[in-house]
Structure 1
Amino acid sequence: MNATCVIAQPIHPIGAEVLRSAGCTVIEPRNAAALEDALPDADAVIVRDGLSAAEIDSGARLLIIANHGTGTDRIDVAHASEHGIPVTHTPGANARSVAEHALMLMFATARQAVVADAATRRGHWGFKYQRPMMSLYGQTLGIVGFGRSGQMLCEMASKGLGMRVLVWSPKAEHELIQLSCGHAVDSLDELLEQADVVSLHRSMKPENRRTLDSAGIARMKPRAIVINTSRGGLIDEDALVDALTQGRLFGAGLDVFDTEPFAATSRLASLENVVLTPHVAGSSQEALYAMASQCAQQVIDTLAGRQPVDMVRPGVWSVRRRNVVVV
């Protein structure tokens, strides 16, 4: 296959191996400047950190943009579609990793794991007398959104921890929620008022922005926990920080933020009742392998003239850009 694929950010080595075995030339730029230089000659690009309209325009030969992950909000999908460039993603490839990470953040927040670790290292063995901790068994978990990671977390929490699980999702069928051991509620307000832990699992679409706003946070129990492994824009971050600072919430476990990376002066960084991770929920080695493999196969299929799986806008295929690629 006489084609060039640019891997814009580091992925699992299996991705490049699969592409090279199919005869592709693989370019892995080391920085933004190198990426800019590589895009004009690329027939395909695999991205983890998005692709702007300007970057898409610079890729005059692009036949596919393969997104390494589920969320495509940082890719200008509309602009790519207008130019006949399919955009793919990898839903489900990292869902279990994300669900496990959400569960980890629940435990770490409830049991004060980060500050307990710091106390231990300082030799502060009186920590247990000074900081409240929370058990998850028997608590109510509210899952907002019910994609694959939400479904997996539902089963883990209900079957593994004996938690009562409430689910609010405008799209999910009640039968699917019940099969996953959850109980559907009719409104977000109902979920927020009952949940001891709220975990967000929605995609970042304009209509989903600030799903958890200041009014919603005010409805939550005074000792509730907020978990977010989806997108930072789903939460009004200022309202969350205010509630955490004022003791109106027990704590939060956050893997995603409004601005990434956030500034060192962020108020979140100063809070001891928050557990922070740098957008790594979907980055277990198993998930990285699966996402890289899927992206590589999507690229190969597209360059060979076969419609790839998991196109964000399947209708683009019939009007796709058609450069000459020798297979």
Structure 2
Amino acid sequence: MDVTKVLVADAVDLACVNLLKDHGIQVDCKLKLTNDQLIKEIDGYEGLIVRSDTKVTRDIIAASNKLRVIGRAGVGVDNIDIPAATEKGIIVLNAPGGNSISACELTCSLITCLARNVVSAAASLKAGKWERKLFSGHELHGKTLAIIGLGRIGKEVAIRMQAWGMNTIGFDPIVTKDDAAKFNVSKMELEEIWPLADYITVHTPLIEQTRNLINKTALASCKKGVRIINVARGGIINEADLLEALEAGICGGAALDVFLQEPPTDETTLKLIANDKVVATPHLGASTIEAQVRVAVEVAEQFIALTGKSKTYTKLFGVVNKSVLKE
């Protein structure tokens, strides 16, 4: 495949740009383009690289006659119109493993913060108070962690939290019971999981099957005081239902790194963030130096592999719409 000119529309680590240039690919970095500006620019390029800021809409895809590949320097591709790209035979690929460790470590941090009231206790002390009894927490040892999505990140979370003495159960429609057992997770159906979990963490993409996966019905089936963690995608947890469960005491706490709208302006989301039982962070799952280098390099490696000119980079491990490769 001819990939001679690539447009980088969002800020990615220079390792991506340099690797592409080292393999004879022209790279232009034009950041913060509006939808209309990108429509005007895109026709000159065979490749487009974005992160989460740029929305690759059907109009943008339709405006290009040369575009052959769209790369997302990250995991989620919900900002790319995949059906529109597939219709035009354009490959959409991501960096599936680049931020796994970073997202996993943030998840584990948030679990421990919820258990020991770290954020609220720190804020209280900074305000000049000394309220030890108010912020008494509980141990994670012996508690049950439910992991929804047993892919790369879910597996890494399981391994780490088992070291804290947590029992790990989980659900994934693709992972078998035997495969889950290899990293000491008991695979169950969702209906079995809800009443058993002390903590629930989600690690799935946002697709139709996972949208509002944790909702009023699921929360009503949970153990009273259950704590919810989301470092995956906003929309997997119904924010209004979670807020209601927190206010009613059904849910004992939540740690949220992602939201349905980012940055959030919706009244329900803002009330959720402000709730005393919620630890909220501004989508930091992949925000480590190491992860940003890895995802940038993974995308560049696959672009180079598409040219067929490298003996070092030959694998396409992040193609989302694999049907295009068969055409």
Q: Which residue matches 2:24?
A: 23
- Mapped to 2, the partners of 1:94 and 1:229 lie a distance apart of 12
Is structure 2 residue 197 aligned with structure 1 residue 189? no
- Mapped to 2, the partners of 1:129 and 1:31 lie a distance apart of 48
Find the partner of 2:321 among 297, 313, 317.
Answer: 313
Once the two structures are superposed, the pairs formed by residues 1-327 of structure 1 within 5 Å of their partners are 3-33=4-34, 35-49=38-52, 50-125=55-130, 127-158=131-162, 160-185=163-188, 187-263=189-265, 265=267, 266-304=270-308, 308-319=316-327
Determine if contact 1:29/1:38 at 8 Å carries over to the other structure: no
Q: Which string of whole-angstrom CA distances, capped at 9 and with x for unpartnered residues, describes residues 166-188 of structure 1? A: 11222211111111111122x21
Instruction: Report the 3-state secondary structure (helix = DSSP H, G, I; strand = E; otherwise coil) of the residue aligned with 2:121.
Output: helix
* Structure 1 residue 59 displacement after superposition: 2.9
Instruction: Report the 3-state secondary structure (helix = DSSP H, G, I; strand = E; otherwise coil) of the residue aligned with 2:235.
Output: helix
Determine if contact 2:50/2:72 at 8 Å carries over to the other structure: yes
- Mapped to 2, the partners of 1:133 and 1:53 lie a distance apart of 49
Instruction: Report the 3-state secondary structure (helix = DSSP H, G, I; strand = E; otherwise coil) of the residue aligned with 1:234.
Output: coil
* Structure 1 residue 307 displacement after superposition: 7.1
Determine if contact 1:193/1:219 at 8 Å carries over to the other structure: yes
- Mapped to 1, the partners of 2:304 and 2:40 lie a distance apart of 23
**TM, length-normalised to structure 1:** 0.91
Structure 2 gaps, min length 5: none
One-letter amino acid of the structure 1 residue matched with residue 139 of structure 2: S
- Mapped to 2, the partners of 1:11 and 1:285 lie a distance apart of 11
Q: Which string of whole-angstrom CA distances, capped at 9 and with x for unpartnered residues, describes residues 7-54 of structure 1? A: 121111111111111222222223123544432222211111241111
Aligned residues: 316
Change (3 A) 1:24 1:103: same
One-letter amino acid of the structure 1 residue matched with residue 21 of structure 2: R
Q: Which string of whole-angstrom CA distances, capped at 9 and with x for unpartnered residues, describes residues 94-142 of structure 1? A: 11211111111111122222211211211111x2222342221211101
* Structure 1 residue 308 displacement after superposition: 3.1
Determine if contact 1:63/1:303 at 8 Å carries over to the other structure: no
- Mapped to 1, the partners of 2:255 and 2:323 lie a distance apart of 38
Q: Which residue matches 1:322?
A: none
Change (3 A) 1:73 1:314: same
- Mapped to 2, the partners of 1:2 and 1:170 lie a distance apart of 36
Determine if contact 1:307/1:317 at 8 Å carries over to the other structure: no
- Mapped to 1, the partners of 2:86 and 2:277 lie a distance apart of 43
CA RMSD after TM alignment: 1.8
- Mapped to 1, the partners of 2:123 and 2:266 lie a distance apart of 19
- Mapped to 2, the partners of 1:237 and 1:264 lie a distance apart of 10
Determine if contact 2:273/2:279 at 8 Å carries over to the other structure: no
Determine if contact 1:70/1:89 at 8 Å carries over to the other structure: yes
